[in-house]
Amino acid sequence: MSEIDIFVFLYMDIFNFLLASLEVFIMEERVFNFSAGPSMLPLPVLQRAADELVVYPGAGMSVMEMSHRSPAYEAIIGEAETLLRKLMNIPENYKVLFLQGGASTQFAAVPLNLIGKTGKADYIVSGQFSGKAFKEAQKMGYDVKCVATSKEDNFTYIPEVTRDAFRPDASYVHICFNNTIYGTKYNYIPDTGDIPLVADMSSCIISEPVDVSKFGVIYAGAQKNMAPAGMTLVIVREDLLEYADPKMPTMLEWKTMAENGSMYNTPPCYTIYMAKLVYEWILSLGGLDVMKKMNEEKAALLYDYLDNQDYYIAPVKPQCRSLMNVTFVTGDAELDKKFASEAGKAGLKNLKGHRSVGGMRASIYNAMPKAGVEALIEFMKKFAAENPKA
Ligand SMILES: *Cc1c(COP(=O)(O)O)cnc(C)c1O
């Protein structure tokens, strides 16, 4: 061996060692992140994205650098749609749109696209986001009616609504399927008869199977359960693309976006790519039936613990409990604060409840491993034992 060979050999060894340490370092640094959104992404997805970050195979550049009109990117967005259609079993007569602006932009886009049918719309207000959606339509001067709310009970349950609650000539009925802030979820799909049902599914999308054909429109921000922030999914039945207010901003018009394959302008390219990796990951595990089983198992661990102790209070009516966002309080605001702070130090991050409700909230989306929920329960036991109530 020449001196140079030995040098290269040594150098490679040191290099590999550093690389391995870096990987261990990255793994050790990852905490259990209970944030409501943006939230955890599946580790295999992050690793795959890291592998393809600098050079996307065959493209010679990063996905972030690609023209959205390039064949490589067209394949990515096409694949994202194909995989989502498979995952959610989306019928042929529905369009899939990957848009920008967050779910909050859809609060305005929904009435602008749909209310032209009859000029009226009905809303069920079961939490903060459905309240915002209702107010946005109201602000635009439309004839909108709140047909049911659980506000008087601090949104601890989902109103049970039958068909006669809706105005027969409403253009649509709007609901929020999973209430991220309060931790409630519909355990039924409201029967609206012929009136299209529009659902904000931002915090429960692809957490379990849903019958898409029961909805006129489903929309969801990506950053809870699908991808990083920046993309909003809209799934819309084709016949509902005909009612848009002609004066509405083009960027909010679903029909224009559908006719242009979500590429009327530059789409949120990288976020769509990340969503594609997430869809692949779920399909590789067995699809939404398997996801649902895993999510039910995680949620059951936490709710079973909550139901069998008397230190923490879970305010939500048991039949309306969310699989994704689990809320609880100690009943003492100071203890709640201490809980979130100490949990954070123990590697259980972002357990503080939403600023409008206080207490604690554990968001346990698809990417939260069971081990994270188990660690949380262990911490809850320890905290209860060490912090007796006065
Ligand atoms: C987070 C969230 C929103 C708001 O989403 P943005 O993308 O921030 O606009 C709306 N609805 C629900 C149910 C949410 O969880």
Ligand 1: centre distance to CA 109 (Å): 14
Strands (E), the chain: 32-33, 94-99, 120-125, 143-149, 173-176, 178-179, 184-185, 197-200, 217-221, 232-237, 325-328, 348-349, 360-363
Query: Of 233, 362, 266, nearest to 306 (Cα)?
Result: 362
Does residue 94 sit within a domain?
Answer: yes
- CATH code, 100: 3.40.640.10
Q: For 30-90, where are the alpha helices, taking DSSP H only?
A: 43-51, 71-88
Ligand 1: centre distance to CA 107 (Å): 10
Does residue 216 sit within a domain?
Answer: yes
Atom in ligand 1 nearest the alpha carbon of residue 232: 7
Does residue 352 sit within a domain?
Answer: no
- Give the residue, by CA position, lying nearest to ligand 1 atom 10: 103
Name, in order, each residue with C-beta under 8 angstroms of 377's C-beta and a sequence gap of 6 or more.
Answer: 301, 302, 305
Ligand 1: centre distance to CA 126 (Å): 14
- Residue among 200, 252, 325, 354 to mutate when testing ligand 1 (max atoms within 8 A of CB): 200
Quick one: CA torsion of 322, 324, 330, 335, rounded to 10 degrees?
-160
Atom in ligand 1 nearest the alpha carbon of residue 37: 1
By CB atoms closer than 10 A (0-12, 13-18, 19+), residue 2 is: exposed
Distance CA 307, CA 181 (A): 20
Does residue 92 sit within a domain?
Answer: yes
Does residue 11 sit within a domain?
Answer: no
Q: Is 30 helix (H, G, I), strand (E, B) or coil?
A: coil
Domain count, the chain: 1
Does residue 218 sit within a domain?
Answer: yes
The pLDDT tens digits along the chain (390 residues) read 566 665 655 566 666 666 665 655 555 689 999 999 999 999 999 999 999 999 999 999 999 999 999 999 999 999 999 999 999 999 999 999 999 999 999 999 999 999 998 999 999 999 999 999 999 999 999 999 999 999 999 999 999 999 999 999 999 999 999 999 999 999 999 999 999 999 999 999 999 999 999 999 999 999 999 999 999 999 999 999 999 988 999 999 999 999 999 999 999 999 999 999 999 999 999 999 999 999 999 999 999 999 999 999 999 999 999 999 999 999 999 999 999 999 999 999 999 999 888 899 999 999 999 999 999 999 999 999 999 987
Does residue 54 sit within a domain?
Answer: no
Query: 10 Å Cβ neighbour count for 266?
Result: 10
Please report, as a single letter, which amino acid is at residue 314: A
Q: Range of 98's domain?
A: 65-284
User: What single DSSP character describes residue 329?
Assistant: B
CB 111 within 8 A of CB 142: yes
Does residue 58 sit within a domain?
Answer: no
Ligand 1: centre distance to CA 301 (Å): 26
The two structure tokens encoding residue 83 = 């995989």
Sign of CA dihedral 51, 55, 59, 60: negative
- Residue among 100, 128, 179, 203 to mutate when testing ligand 1 (max atoms within 8 A of CB): 203
